Amino acid sequence: MNLNDLHTFATVVKSGTLTQAAKTLSVPKSTVSRRLTRLEDDLGVELFSRSARKMVLTQDGQAFFERIIGSLDAIVEAQRTLQEQSIEPEGVLRITTTEGYGQTPAFLSCLSSYLEQYPKVQIDLVLTSRVTNLVEDKIDVGFRLYTGQLPGDASTMSRRLHKVTSGLYTSPDYLERHGVIETQQDLGKHRYIAFGTVDFAKHRWLYDGVVSPITPDLPSPSLVVNNTATLTHCALVGMGVCMLDQIAAEKFVERGQLVRLLPRWSQEIAKVSLVWVASRHLSVKTRSFINHAVASLATPS
């Protein structure tokens, strides 16, 4: 049994006519007819009832189509995937995430290494706190931060990447001027700079990685900001104690620009997932970036 004949049969069923199937397959109508006849001869059954005006599937033809279509589509998809592996990704790739996450070293390193590997791709990065509609906003890939259920619908595919964990930080200069912080009770004596879009009281505190019934008592904020880059700079210039993403803040700790306070305490702020529009025919650039992002950013849950 010829695979081309099977594919031609499925195409005729889906398109409805020999003429349309011939256009889809880019072959003469006579070739389509010949393949169908050969397939019927191989099977020993009539797949279509033919008349001068139309072709209608017989009961045997319908049953045969239902049995083969899943496997046939899988073969076609496997062939397409193999062919795409030899195609270099190129074109504009639209990616969206929040302003805060979009400035983290891990995320930017992911973009940098992807562009290094695929120089023909141009990334259009959209930073917004709004939950974008991937189709309406023509977004290829989104990085979503969330605390409850992942925003999305049946048209969206997703892949969990990692969690965002925050800790308390300030500058060495601030501690020299205002005194050290050794216990959670000491926090009440210090100036606190808050990130306005996150209510940290609603997030669970961890002590040595384990959920704690006792929580550090953060004072009322002296300043509230709605941008994580500004919050980080507030800590760097010694304005007060700030709750910062541990991964982003670590590089400043290594340089001696920030000090981690109460290092045994941390908070799980959000989960991060990669999202894209569900499709069996993702573009090469989208598929390659999804694979790259998972390899670069995914951690065990």
Task: Write out pLDDT tens, residues 110-121.
Answer: 999 999 999 999
* Contacts of 241 by beta carbon, 8 Å cutoff, 6+ apart: 168, 169, 170, 174, 181, 187, 190, 191, 192, 193, 235, 261
- Which of 5-19, 68-82, 179-193: highest mean pLDDT? 179-193
pLDDT of residue 242: 95
Q: What is the mean pLDDT of residues 37-54?
A: 83
Residue 86 has pLDDT above 60, yes or no: no
CA distances from 25 to 8, 38, 95, 248, 294 (A): 8, 17, 34, 52, 36
Report the C-alpha gap between 155 and 134 in whole angstroms: 10
Q: Taking each helix axis as running N to C, give the angle between helix 29-43 and helix 18-25, from 0 to 180 degrees, rounded to the nearest 10.
A: 110
Lowest mean pLDDT among 90-94, 96-100, 279-283: 279-283
Q: What is the mean pLDDT of residues 56-65?
A: 88
What type of residue is 83?
Q
pTM above 0.85, yes or no: no
Give the chain's domains with CATH numbers. Answer: 3-84 (1.10.10.10), 89-301 (3.40.190.290)
pLDDT of residue 109: 94
Residue 83 has pLDDT above 90, yes or no: no
Q: What is the mean pLDDT of residues 171-196?
A: 92
Residue 52 has pLDDT above 70, yes or no: no
pLDDT of residue 94: 97
Share of the chain above pLDDT 90, in %: 41
Residue 285: pLDDT band (50, 70, 90) is very high
Residue 197 has pLDDT above 80, yes or no: no
